[in-house]
Structures are given as C-alpha cells and as structure tokens.
Amino acid sequence: MLLQTLLAFRPSNNDLVFAIKTFLAAMLALFIAISLNLQNPMWAMGTVFIVANPLAGVLSSKAVYRMLGTLAGACLSILVLPPFINSPLPFSLIIALWVGFCLYVSLLDRTPRSYFFMLAGYTTAMIGFSAVADPTHLFDISLSRFEEITLGILCATVISRVFFPVNIAGILSGRIDQWFSDIEGNFKNCLAGHSSPETIVKEAQRFAADSTEMHALAIHLSYENSALRRQTRSVQALQHQMILLVPALVALADRVHTLKESSLSFDNLLMQVQQQTEQFIAGKSPENQTELSFIPPSILQKFEQMLAIADTREKLMIMSAREAFIFFIQHFQTLRLIWQCVKTGQRLPNFIDQNGLSDLRLHRGLYRDHGVALRGALSAFLAIGIVCFLWHMSGWQYGFMAAQITAVCACILTFLDNPVPALASFRLASIYSALVVFVYQFAIFPVVHDFFTLMLVLFPFFLIFTSMLPYPALTGFALPILINTAMGLNIRNLNEPVFGAYIDNSLAIVLGILIPSFTLALIRSTTPERSVQRLVRSQWRDVQQIIEKPVVHPWAYYMRRLLDRIGLMAPRVLRAPAIQADISQSIMELAGATNIIRLKLTLNQLPEPCSQQVSQLLQQLWNWYEARLSNQEFDTAQLLKHIDQLISQVLLQPSSMLRDQVLVALTGVRRSLFQHAGHYVVPSEPIPALGETYGWRG
C-alpha cells in the first residue's frame, strides 16, 4: 500500500517550492551551527524538518511553542535533574513522570499551545539522557539544545515568511465561502423537499467536520502576516457560530419531509417559501440589528396559510418548521454580516458582541478526553521506564539515544486512535534512513570537502521526501525518514565516519521506536468504533448535565460542546463505515438537546400542572440517558407515552406564545428522539388556536 502511494506520488510546483525552501532553511541552520561550533548541529537541521509546514502561520505558531517548550524543558533539566543524575532509578522515574504529565496536559489542550507542553516534556528527556555520560555538562547541553533548536526555528520561520509565503487566510476564506454556499444550498433543498432527512443528517455531519477543520486553521491566523491577522477573534466567533445552523437545518428537513408525507396540499406553499427566501438571501447583506431580524412578511404569511389548512398534528409540524426556518434565516444573516466585517477588516458591531457571538466560553466548551490523555501519558511513562531499565542493565553506551527516541515517539503519535500503524511506518522509515545514512557516510561523504558540495549531494534526497510532507498519507513515512537521516548523518565536520557508531546509532533509533509501539498498542491503542462510542457517551453525559443543572451559559455554549463531538466523530467514518448509524443518531439527538434547553428555560413560566409534568419528563429523559450509559433496559414506550400526554395537556391550555413555545420544544424532543415512532394522537377535546409565536431564538 505504501509502495503504491510512493510510486503514484507526483509533487506539484507548490510542493517543490515548499521542499526547496525547507531544504535551504535546513542548510542555513546547519551552516550557522557549524560556523558557531555548536555541539550538535544536527538538532538545528532536524528542527527545520520537524516544524516545516507549507502554511506560514502554522509553521510560525509551531515554531514559537517549540522554542518556548524547549526553554521550559531546558530550565527544568537544570533546576531539577542535577541531584538525581547519578541515581538511575529516581532519575529515570522523574523524567518518565515529567514526560507523562506534559503529554497528558498536551492531549487535553486543543490549541497550538499543546505543542509547548509536549516539547517541555521530551526536551527534558533529550537533555537529561544526553547528560548521563557527563553530568558536569548538564548546563552546557541544555544551553546548546536551546540554541540549536532556536536556530533551526528562526531559519525555518524566516525562509518561510520571506520567500513565497503561503498564508492560511486565503485557504480559510475559500473554505468559509464554500461552507456558506453549501449550507445555503442544503437549506433551499430542504424547503423544496429535494433532500431527505437522512441526506441532511449526512450533510450535517460533513458541516461539523468542516467546522472542526476550520477551527484548527483559524487558531493559527494570529501567527501570520495576512489580511485576517487582526481578525482572529472575529473569525473564531464566526466559525463557532456557523456550526449552530446545523440543528436548525436538521429540524427543518425533518418537519418539511413529514409535512410532504402527510399531505400534498403544502407543496405549493413550501415552494413559494423556497423561491421567496432565495430572492431574499440573494439581496445585500444586512447592515444593522433591525435588518438582521427582518424576514419579509410575505414569507411568514405562507406559514400562516399552511396553518389555516392544517389539522392539529400538521400544525405542530408547521410551527416547528417555522421556528427552525426563522432561526436559520436570522442566524444566517448574522453570519453574513460577521463575514462581511471580517473580509473588510471592520470591527464586529456592538450588538453582535452583546449577543454572545464572540464569547470565549464557546472555546472552553471544546471536548477533552481525560481517559485517552491518561492512557497516552501512562504508555509514555511505561515506554521510557522499559528502555531505561534495558539501558542501565546492559550498560549500552548508546542507550541514552534509544531513551531519547522513545520519549519523542511516545509523545508525537499519541493523538491517533491507533498509533501502532504509524509507528510501524516510523520503524520502516528508520530502517530505510539507516541505509541512506550508510550510503552517505561511507560512499559519498569521503569525497565531499566543502559545504557547497555537501548541499549538492544532500539536495536530491531531501527534496524528494520533503515534498511529501504536505500529504497526510505520506507524512508518516516522509517525516521520520527526513529526521532520522538528518540525525543519523550527525554532520559536525567532514571527518571519517566510524562504522561502530553508525551501527549503534541505527539500533538505538529502531529500539526507540519499537518500545513505544509495544506500550501504545498495549495501553493507548483503540478502534474508531470505540472512540466514537466514547464521544457518544460523553454527549449523553452532557445532556444529563443540561437536564439536572441550571442553564447558566448561553445556548450556543451547550450546542458548541455537542457539535464539537460530532465534528470529531465524522472523520472516523472513513476508517469504520459501520459507525455512520451512531453518528446519525447523535446528530438527531443533538436537536433533541436543543429542545431540552428550551423546556428548561420555560419551566418556571408554566402553570403548576404543566410545570410539574415537564419536570417529570426531564427526569425521565435523564433516567433514559443514565440507563444507556449503564447498558440497562429502559421502557422507551412509556417515555414516548409521557411525551404525548404532555403535548396533549399543553395543547388544551389557553392560546399563548408560551404555550406554542413549549409545544414546539416537545414536538422537537419527540421527533429527535423517536423519529421512527408512530403519529401523535390528537386529543378529542376542543383545542385553542395554535401558531401565536413566530419562532424562538436560542
């Protein structure tokens, strides 16, 4: 499989430009390190390939946190390690614990800052294990490590930002424009009845995944020189809010589909809504708060006309569809205004900030899996402990290098569900890099006598593999072969290589990859199915918390938390198609959570009999999620019956906006959690007029 991918690879012009820039940065770092007589010029050279990225903003953020992480690791090495360096057991234990702790924190932080914690961890291992042979030089090694890493970072950053820089802003702008176009197209298809609820659910899954990817790009904007650099907060507010259209889109698709199945009499009116809405959206972007909330009365009248010819069950669907429609339009218009401000470099209007669209609490709502982080930290701790035990028991001179490689490998791939295949690719790359190093050291370097010639002989190899770095399918092979080759060559000067040192160095690299492969497979490795199940169960627990705790955050905060999990589930479908059903169910239940929040917010305003019944329903919903978390049986038929009884009870209340809001919420809960259940049975008693509310904004 890998061989086929390698043979089929054809670098583009942009790939070659990126590879040439990276190679020149590596050679510049190597030349300066040798000229300054630094201890390990290979660290400066290798750092360039580690931080290399075609996007200048990503490279810069990675470089900044790598430098700060290296500084933190070096400081800890100087301050903490000296008293223990001659005591192998506590020395190894301290480093293993520190690496594990830093990795744990890194895995919980989904910002560029996570790189700082990871570097702080394994930099201490790199420095500490290097100093074992000569403890008196611990400070010198720490200083040298920081100098060489900083040199590599500066060279990579300067070359990337000065020569043909590629900014995130252009790519992100294109992605956002496409997102707007796609979700608008799906909205129109919903109204026209051209998209089934199942299709919209899959589209919603894609929108959530796109949002997660755009979040990963947007957080690097402040590290590049582009038109959007000073708009980072606004872009993040936009990205956080874009995904909130998904629940409304899913709800609208379900209600329209149900109406079309119920009667053909709504088709013409829905088509008119679709046509008039298309004309309205095609107009100019809103410019003030009044225009944001404006919807042409002619469109709303079509919903009134549908209510006039509908029976009670259909009226509930129309009210719910109208509510989702109004929310979508108003929110879509708000997003258009935000995006217009971002593109023109304007500040967000005060009324948008007042609506909480740039609330930083949305960012804190991102998902963090403490269990996965703990297992990753434990696997790193165990791997370092094993290699240190083998090193001290054998007395192998190059054991320190195996321990260093172990610490690095245990950290950099732990974010994967199953890091073992990637580490297998690392092992294969290390074997190939050992062969490459052998050819260079014993066949080519003996005839190289100046730095320019050195650059010429290194250029073809590094050009080919560096051009592969932008491609995820090849990165896992290209990156280790580049780094291992740079480290294995260990270019300090052009003296004759030592064959014994070459063998020890190659074995240390292979062993340093093999041991974390074992511990990660034993402790950290999991399947996409199990990862999705963890995300689903976490979503259930979040809904339970929404039910049992007061609603103290903006509605968007809760939705962002739940939608973030959908975005994390979606990419795993490619590796495990069987999980599609779980993701689709989670998206439908997401709309149910939206309506649970609405019930919570209206609870204290309801008259006593209804208020008590709603409280009992919320408790039953909590019990249902608890039963699912505990893998216990639960009488869902009784839960559905309770929902239907409550709808009937609220229907018989006097006509009011509050009553209609509660009915829309209850209908949403029923349709989201029991979409395949039979039709709701309308009570025989006279029902007061329905449809007094024109939508509820979260």
Poorest-pLDDT segment among 91-95, 100-104, 235-239, 605-609 = 235-239
Which residue from 325, 188, 168, 297 is spatially nearest to 239, judged by alpha carbons?
A: 168
DSSP 8-state class, residue 418: -
DSSP count for the chain of H helices, then E strands = 29, 0
Question: Which has more pLDDT, 349 or 202?
Answer: 202
Q: Per-residue pLDDT averaged across 361-390, rounded?
A: 85
String of b and e for 355-389 (b: at least 16 CB within 10 Å)? Answer: bbbbbeebbebbbebeebbbbbbbbbbbbbbbbbe
What digits encode the pLDDT tens for the residues 622-636? 999 999 999 898 888
Mean pLDDT is lowest, of 604-613, 669-678, 689-698, for: 689-698
* Per-residue pLDDT tens digits for 555-600: 777 888 888 888 888 878 777 777 888 888 888 888 888 899 888 8
Name the residue with higher pLDDT: 695 or 574.
Answer: 574
pLDDT tens digit string along 110-147? 878 888 999 999 899 999 998 887 888 889 889 988 99
pLDDT at 105: 94
3-state secondary structure 206-261: HHHHHHHHHHHHHCCHHHCCCCCHHHHHHHHHHHHHHCCHHHHHHHHHHHHHHHHH
Residue 381 reports pLDDT greater than 60:
yes
How many angstroms separate the CA atoms of 681 and 664, rounded?
Answer: 16
pLDDT at residue 365, rounded to an integer: 62
Tokens encoding 552 = 């103290």
Window from 370-379, 393-402, 487-496, 561-570 with minimum mean pLDDT? 487-496
- Look at the alpha carbons of 542, 543, 544, 548 in this order and tell me if their dihedral is positive or negative: positive
Are the beta carbons of 124 and 98 closer than 8 angstroms? yes
Task: Check residue 696 and give its pLDDT.
Answer: 42
Could you read off the pLDDT of 403-458 as tens digits, one per residue?
999 998 888 888 888 887 887 888 888 889 889 988 998 889 888 888 999 999 99
- Report how far Cα 283 is from the mean position of its chain's Cα atoms: 34
Most confident range (mean pLDDT) of 113-117, 264-268, 527-531, 560-564 is: 113-117
Are 384 and 410 contacting, i.e. CB atoms less than 8 angstroms apart? yes
Is the distance from CB of 29 to CB of 38 less than 8 angstroms?
Answer: no
Q: 99 pLDDT exceeds 90? A: yes
More confident residue, 358 or 220: 220
The first and second tokens of residue 258, run together, are 């149900």
- 609 phi, psi to nearest 5 deg: -60, -45
What gap in Å lies between CA 266 and CA 317, rounded to an integer?
12
∠ Cα 373 468 403 (to 5°): 45
User: Can you tell me the mean pLDDT for 647-668?
Assistant: 88
Contact 214, 238 (CB under 8 A): no
Structure-block tokens of residue 358? 């740039």
Q: How many Å apart are CA 112 and CA 418, to the nearest integer?
A: 22
What percentage of the chain exceeds 70 in pLDDT?
A: 95
Mean pLDDT over 603-613 rounds to 83
Structure tokens at 400: 């320190």
Q: Mark residue 167 as left, alpha or beta (left: phi above 0; alpha: psi -120 to 50; beta: remaining).
A: beta
Is a pLDDT exceeding 70 seen at residue 360?
A: no
Q: What is the mean pLDDT of the chain?
A: 85
- Rounded CA-CA distance 78/72 in Å is 10
pTM for the whole structure:
0.85
DSSP state of 53: -
Q: Would you list the domain boundaries of the chain?
A: 17-166+369-524, 197-358
Q: Is 660 left (phi over 0), alpha (psi -120 to 50) or beta?
A: alpha
